[in-house]
Structure 1
């Protein structure tokens, strides 16, 4: 079974022009081009388009999406990982919707507002299972204690520092810096210090953290939004730092 470019554009909520651009840049090739010049897409192309659209929603640019698709050849496995994340987001958003509905109802009715109700869904507990599986219960518990002990202003400062480091490393990648250069390694040292506020990774753990940045679209979106391919650059720089400085 196959679909015309017009059918795909309509079903995906995009345009034929966008799909032709995906073809031009090598991101999504049609399964065939008819004698009339129209592009047609089979099931494999349709699945690839689904992955492209999912990654676009994470904020990745087309070069970054191409790298992710190239690095994840097992389509079903990649989609399973993305599905797990989507379901967690669905649950979190459902809790937030209920929380806001409760707040509106109680404000309109003059009822007492309970903190547990109106703040439900605004936490990071959806990542607990993932963190525990990767690095252990102690790592998760420590990071949670450290984070919740911070004031709101300090939490904003910490996130701003993470964004500063992400941008600086991405800019170094865009300039073509060597991952082992003094400038890049100093930025990685600051990154390791930032991570160590929550949990102190050893050599293996820090290298694995860099690998997760590349494998997980959520992290790739954070870094590649500053420069295409920045996540892989940061991963490689983290490995150099770990092998040289950590045990």
Structure 2
């Protein structure tokens, strides 16, 4: 099948003049010229036009687009590349939509959006550390999970997290032993909290990697001053670490 320049222009949302310009500069040749001089485009030409429009929307100049396309000999590989670019763009737009939706939720509920809530959790600032420890998928899935929450859901999650931290601090201040029933009950809550975060080894059910993650998290609470402060200082964080390590030894 083939289509006239007017049909292609209307379908692609460009003008016939634009397509003629693409022809003039060698970016997109019609598949044939009719006896009347009309330009006709077949499926291969439309596939190239699709690539041109995609790369143009990503901000590339026409000469750069021509160079990129002319260097691509493998059409299937090029299409896979295009899909990857579109998926990246979709993810970027979804994050923007989520941010605007959070702001709208905040306004309709009569409160201002919290910058801390917008950045807290397993999201962008922790990317390098998460990827280094647990892989790209762990970051991507946990990050998508966090950004997919409404503001109310983030507030509820933060409230549950604060309650968990409070339970740890109270157990430590009351002199509980890391291996006590009380400490182990909080440790079980903590592991369940980790399991609720998609993409993490605890959520995947991999026992060995999940145990390693819980031990790592416990160590991080002691090593990171911000986390340690949340648990009442280094001694409180060490209590949490020891209780989590004991939980791994006995229950995982």
TM-score by length of 2: 0.46
Work out which structure has the larger RCO, using CA pairs closer than 8 Å and 6 or more positions apart in sequence. Answer: 1
Q: Which structure: larger Rg?
A: 2
